[in-house]
Amino acid sequence: MRSSFYSRLICLLALFIFIIFASGCSKNFVYYPEKELISSPSNAGLDFKDLSLTTEDGVKINAWYVPYRDSEGVLLWFHGNAGNMGNRVNLLKRLHEELKINILLVDYRGYGKSEGEISEEGTAKDALAAYDYLLTRRDINLKQIFIFGRSLGSAVAVRLASEVQSAGLILEAPFTSVRDMVSEVLPWLPFKGLISIKYDSLSKIKSVKIPLLIMHGDQDKVIPYKQGEALFAAANTPKTFYTVKGAAHNNAHIVGGRDYFEIIAKFIDENR
């Protein structure tokens, strides 16, 4: 009897430790923020507004607004889980040049100069603050707001697109949920449902009622190509899936070359 009691006690203690581990380590699995901005749009010769936006819970986040002359449309861009906006300046310049559109790029709380501590609900509030800022701009046609998210930003973008009005949703290298990603990376890990961070795009995508473009490299080893396919299958029409052949997780715009930018430009032009 005593040995049975101790066995149960050990099992309960192990479960308790795992729950603490799962809730605490999930942040380290998902987020890799950096505070130092290694570059800015000015380094790429771009005019921009360096913004401080206040979220509904009072957190000040940093964003860059890069205008494009005579454009009424805007690309609202949510980046991936590592670094900050400063690591995206080269791609920012290419998107600005090729798409000929205004761009608002956002750093989540805890990234770059943004204050606060990163969390799933926090990123949702950050996204909404960025969207609300666009609503205040008189030079923007509110029917030409395109939401763009890649990697982690795809989940932020899907949630925002399910809650606000926009012209279209563009996702690059999206995943279905954090739980599914954990299953890919750590298939041996038990009790995956205990992981606190969800980013369940698979369920939220069903509430998105706007045109959708998904782009995914077929050699992506970070977020498997099949995750993009699964998200696409669950999405409403109209929708387009574009395979960037030979591309890994971070080089779709390089491997895809001009075709990468032309497919985005075509999507925007068709849905203005």
- pLDDT-wise least confident of 28-32, 76-80, 249-253: 28-32
Q: Which of 26, 71, 151, 154 is catalytic?
A: 151
Average pLDDT of the residues of the chain: 90
Residue 148 pLDDT: 98
DSSP lists the bridge partners of residue 171 as 149, 214
Q: Which of 79, 216, 249, 253 is catalytic?
A: 249
Do 94 and 262 touch, CB atoms closer than 8 A?
no
Determine whether 151 is an active site residue. Answer: yes
Determine whether 220 is an active site residue. Answer: yes
The predicted-structure confidence for 170-184, as pLDDT tens digits, reads as follows: 999 999 999 888 777
Domain boundaries, the chain: 2-270
* Helix, strand or coil, per DSSP, at residue 168: strand
- For domain 2-270, the CATH superfamily is Alpha/Beta hydrolase fold, catalytic domain (3.40.50.1820)
Quick one: which of 79, 54, 64, 255 has its CA closest to 150? Answer: 79
pTM (global) more than 0.85:
yes
Residue 184 pLDDT: 72
